Structure 1
Amino acid sequence: MVRSEAACEEALHAANEHLYGLMREPTCLGMGTTIAGFVVQERAVLSFNVGDSRGYRFSRGCLVRVSQDDVPMAVDRRADRPRGITQCLGGSEFPLGIMPHVFAGPPFEVGECLMLCTDGLTEALDDSELAMLFRELAHPAAMVEKLVRQGISRGSRDNISVLVSVAVA
């Protein structure tokens, strides 16, 4: 089990090495992924990411991004032009190291929400639009459905994956 920021970083490095090991197979060449996640503990929530998948925390009516995008600084996420990422797990012809983003935050409190999503959602909806949707909806399944539908209707050209978790007593 991951219990510290250092352990979380070690697990991400191990996952990166594992992907490069899998890419020795010709059918897996170039395989790569972004990742974002949370480790919920009694005294803290660890958030982590590599790439442009994101983690958010919704508390007391405010949505806060707790991940850091690995995208070129000059890239406009909503522009109609190709964009890229500056790091991911695997994904290149030769092994590259990663610099994971791992942060410890306050404990997960009753009524708060944690959300993980891919860039397919965040290329279509900005953080203020996401916050508005969170304020409107109370049930996690309804949130996920509405977020995915909004992302698709806004013309996202990438896959949309969303996970929402709500702390209950």
Structure 2
Amino acid sequence: MPYTAVTALSHSGLLRDHNEDSLVVGPWTLCATETETPQTLVFPHGRPLVVAVADGMGGQPAGEVASALTATRIAALGSSMDDEHAVRDALNVCNHAVYAAADRDPSLTSMGTTVAGAVLLTETLLVFNVGDSRVLRMTDDGLSRLSVDDSPPLSPGERTTSLVTQALGGAPSFISVVPHVTTAPLAVGDRLLVCTDGLTDPVPQDALEELLRVYDDGRAAFELWKAAIEAGGPDNITLALVRVGE
């Protein structure tokens, strides 16, 4: 019988004094806290299963509140996110919820978060993001990006930027978002990496690919985290590795 294994971890990195990332795996959330040891959850394949990360925006207040609010809303809505329209609706609900929470508490004004994830259906994958957290697919041909970064164009010589062109929340008053949502085929043997930019900024994609060619599940999650730490660990690191097996 096919199954989906999800291995995840979340860590503050070496330079940040707390973790503003949050994580969703089905009904399970990890909000603005740490698990240095990779945790693996196994689910029956075929029911809608949402796996997502939310990265609270640094340099603005209460990023951890925005990411946790987004993660818990997505976890609650996950079983209903069974087509592109439902995914867009869920992300718009999250955006309204972040702004509503900020309206109720002036100390939360302008809090915001990015989000990226995937909903696994029987033979279909719904990929979504707002901001620069990423969803990548690992195949025999290599590691490819399925999400679309909401970032300004890079200057010559730049590989990354901390700037984003849209997020959930992140402004003093409400701004609507246009989520990126796409549909892709899904089959036994597929592998995904869902992660915040605390992994992809310090570690180039070819280095991530090399690790994923060698390792899987818990060992792969550990090695990816280790690579980000050895690259300086400049930001919170949150990742989920998804594998469809049988």
TM-score by length of 1: 0.91
Write out per-residue CA displacement over residues 12-59 of structure 1, whole angstroms, 9 at most, x where no aligned residue: 111101100000112322221100011101121000000000001112
Aligned partner (choices 194, 203, 214) of residue 136 of structure 1 = 214
Counterpart Cα distance in 1 of 2:144 and 2:163: 23
Write out per-residue CA displacement over residues 56-89 of structure 1, whole angstroms, 9 at most, x where no aligned residue: 11122521110011111125234xxx73111110
2:142 matched residue in structure 1? 62
**1:145 match: secondary structure:** helix
5+ residue gaps, structure 2? 1-79
| Matching of residue 164 in structure 1 with residue 241 in structure 2 | yes
2:232 matched residue in structure 1? 155
8 Å Cα contact 1:44/1:104 also seen in 2: yes
Aligned partner (choices 59, 71, 92) of residue 151 of structure 2 = 71
**2:118 match: secondary structure:** strand
Write out per-residue CA displacement over residues 112-158 of structure 1, whole angstroms, 9 at most, x where no aligned residue: 211110011111112111111100113x1111111111011112421
Q: Which amino acid aligns with 1:145?
A: F
2:126 matched residue in structure 1? 46
| Matching of residue 114 in structure 1 with residue 192 in structure 2 | yes
Q: Which amino acid aligns with 1:163?
A: A
Q: Which amino acid aligns with 1:83?
A: S
Alpha-carbon offset, residue 111 of structure 1: 2.2
2:92 matched residue in structure 1? 13
Task: Compute the RMSD of aligned alpha carbons.
Answer: 1.4
1:33 matched residue in structure 2? 113
Counterpart Cα distance in 2 of 1:27 and 1:127: 37
Name whichever structure is richer in strand by fraction.
2
Counterpart Cα distance in 1 of 2:219 and 2:231: 18
Counterpart Cα distance in 2 of 1:74 and 1:63: 21
Identity percentage of aligned residues? 35
4+ long deviations beyond 4 Å = none
TM-score by length of 2: 0.64
**2:237 match: secondary structure:** coil
Counterpart Cα distance in 2 of 1:134 and 1:69: 22
Counterpart Cα distance in 1 of 2:123 and 2:243: 17
Counterpart Cα distance in 2 of 1:111 and 1:83: 33
5+ residue gaps, structure 1? none
8 Å Cα contact 1:60/1:112 also seen in 2: no
Counterpart Cα distance in 2 of 1:153 and 1:134: 17
Counterpart Cα distance in 1 of 2:229 and 2:110: 27
Aligned residues: 164
Q: Which amino acid aligns with 1:120?
A: G
